[in-house]
Structure 1
Amino acid sequence: MDWGNWTIYWVLSEWAIRLVMLPVIVLRKERPSTCLAWLTLVFFAPWLGVILYLVLGETRLGRNRLRLRKSQWQSLESLNAPRVGSRLVSPENSSSLAVEPPDEDDGAQGEFAEAEVSQTVFHERLSRRGDELLPGPLRSLANLASQLTGFPPTPDHEISYLSDSLLTIDRLVAEIDSATDHVHLLYYIFRDDVVGRRVAEALSRARQRGVACRVLVDAVGSRHMLRTLAPAMRRVGIDVRAALPVRIYRIPFSRIDLRNHRKIAIVDGRVAYVGSQNIVEPRYGHRKAGPWYDVTARIVGPAVHHLQLLFLEDWFYESGEWLDEPRFFPPISGGGNTILQILPSGPDLPTERFQDLLVKAIFLAEREIILTSPYFVPDEPLSLALRLAALRGVNVQLVLPRRSDHPIVDAAGEFHWRRLREYGVQVYFFPDGLLHAKTLTIDNQVALFGSANYDIRSFHLNFEVNLLIYTPQAVEELRELQKRYIDRSKQSATEEPASPHWTRNLAIHLAKLLSPLL
Structure 2
Amino acid sequence: MLILEILYALTIISVVIVVISENRNPIKTLSWVMVLVFLPFVGLIWYLIFGQDFTRKQVINKRMYSKLKKRPLDEIGTLEEFSYPPEHASLIRLLRNLDHTPLLGGNDVRFYTRAAEKFEELLRDIENAKQHIHVEYYVFEGDNIGRRIRDALIRKSLEGVEVRVIYDSFGSRKTSRAFFEEFRKAGIEAEPFLKVVLPKFTSRLNFRNHRKIIVIDGQIGYVGGINIADRYIDGLKWGIWRDTHVRIEGKGVQGLQSIFLIDWFFVSQTLITSRRYFPELPVYGDISLQMVNSGPFREEREIYHGILQAIYDAQKSIFIQTPYFIPPESMIEALQAAAIRGLDVRLIISKRSDVPLVQMASRSFVKEMLESGVKVYMYEKGFLHSKLMVFDDSLTLIGSVNFDSRSFEHNFEVEAFIYDHVVAERAIEIFVEDQRDSQVVSLREWVKRPIRLRFFESLMRLFAPLM
TM over 0.5: yes
Give yes or no for contact 1:451–1:466 (8 Å, CA) kept in 2: yes
Cα distance change on mapping 1:299 and 1:283 into 2, 3 Å: closer
The amino acid of 1:492's aligned partner reads V
1:459 equivalent to 2:408? Answer: yes
Match of 1:17 among 8, 11, 14: 11
1:178 equivalent to 2:171? Answer: no
Once the two structures are superposed, residues 24-76 of structure 1 have per-residue CA deviations (whole angstroms, 9 ceiling, x without a partner) of 11122421111000011112233333332222112222657421x43332675
1:407 equivalent to 2:356? Answer: yes
Greater CA drift, 219-228 or 363-372 = 219-228
- 1:100-115 to 2 correspondence within 5 Å? none
* Larger Rg over CA atoms: 1
Match of 1:73 among 66, 88, 98: 66
Match of 2:33 among 25, 31, 39: 39
What CA distance in whole angstroms lies between the structure 1 residues aligned with 2:122 and 2:129?
11
Give yes or no for contact 1:121–1:309 (8 Å, CA) kept in 2: no
TM-score by length of structure 1 reads 0.85
Give yes or no for contact 1:189–1:279 (8 Å, CA) kept in 2: yes
Give yes or no for contact 1:121–1:305 (8 Å, CA) kept in 2: no
Give yes or no for contact 1:289–1:404 (8 Å, CA) kept in 2: no
Give yes or no for contact 2:370–2:443 (8 Å, CA) kept in 1: no
The amino acid of 1:428's aligned partner reads Y
- 1:217-366 to 2 correspondence within 5 Å? 217-252=167-202, 254-282=203-231, 287=236, 290-366=239-315
Give yes or no for contact 1:285–1:405 (8 Å, CA) kept in 2: no
Give yes or no for contact 1:412–1:508 (8 Å, CA) kept in 2: yes
What CA distance in whole angstroms lies between the structure 1 residues aligned with 2:444 and 2:384?
17
What CA distance in whole angstroms lies between the structure 1 residues aligned with 2:115 and 2:4?
54
TM-score by length of structure 2 reads 0.94
* Residues matched between the structures, number: 467
Unaligned runs of 5+ in 2: none
Match of 1:382 among 331, 354, 357: 331
Q: Following TM superposition, by how much is the alpha carbon of 1:477 offset from its aligned partner in structure 2, in angstroms?
A: 1.3
Once the two structures are superposed, residues 227-264 of structure 1 have per-residue CA deviations (whole angstroms, 9 ceiling, x without a partner) of 24212232222222111111112235x13121100001
What CA distance in whole angstroms lies between the structure 2 residues aligned with 1:212 and 1:474?
32
1:57 equivalent to 2:58? Answer: no
What CA distance in whole angstroms lies between the structure 1 residues aligned with 2:338 and 2:176?
45
The amino acid of 1:39's aligned partner reads V
Cα distance change on mapping 1:289 and 1:35 into 2, 3 Å: farther
- 1:506-517 to 2 correspondence within 5 Å? 506-517=455-466
What CA distance in whole angstroms lies between the structure 1 residues aligned with 2:240 and 2:167?
22
1:129 equivalent to 2:81? Answer: yes
SS of equivalent to 2:407: helix
Superposed CA RMSD in Å reads 2.1
Once the two structures are superposed, residues 326-385 of structure 1 have per-residue CA deviations (whole angstroms, 9 ceiling, x without a partner) of 221111112210010011011112253322221111111121111000111111011111
Give yes or no for contact 2:292–2:302 (8 Å, CA) kept in 1: no
Unaligned runs of 5+ in 1: 1-5, 80-117
Q: Following TM superposition, by how much is the alpha carbon of 1:317 offset from its aligned partner in structure 2, in angstroms?
A: 0.9
Cα distance change on mapping 1:336 and 1:25 into 2, 3 Å: same
What CA distance in whole angstroms lies between the structure 1 residues aligned with 2:418 and 2:232?
29
Percentage of identical aligned residues: 30
Give yes or no for contact 1:17–1:46 (8 Å, CA) kept in 2: no
1:189 equivalent to 2:143? Answer: no
The amino acid of 1:58's aligned partner reads Q
Match of 2:100 among 150, 159, 175: 150
Give yes or no for contact 2:360–2:457 (8 Å, CA) kept in 1: yes
Give yes or no for contact 1:282–1:293 (8 Å, CA) kept in 2: no
The amino acid of 1:70's aligned partner reads R
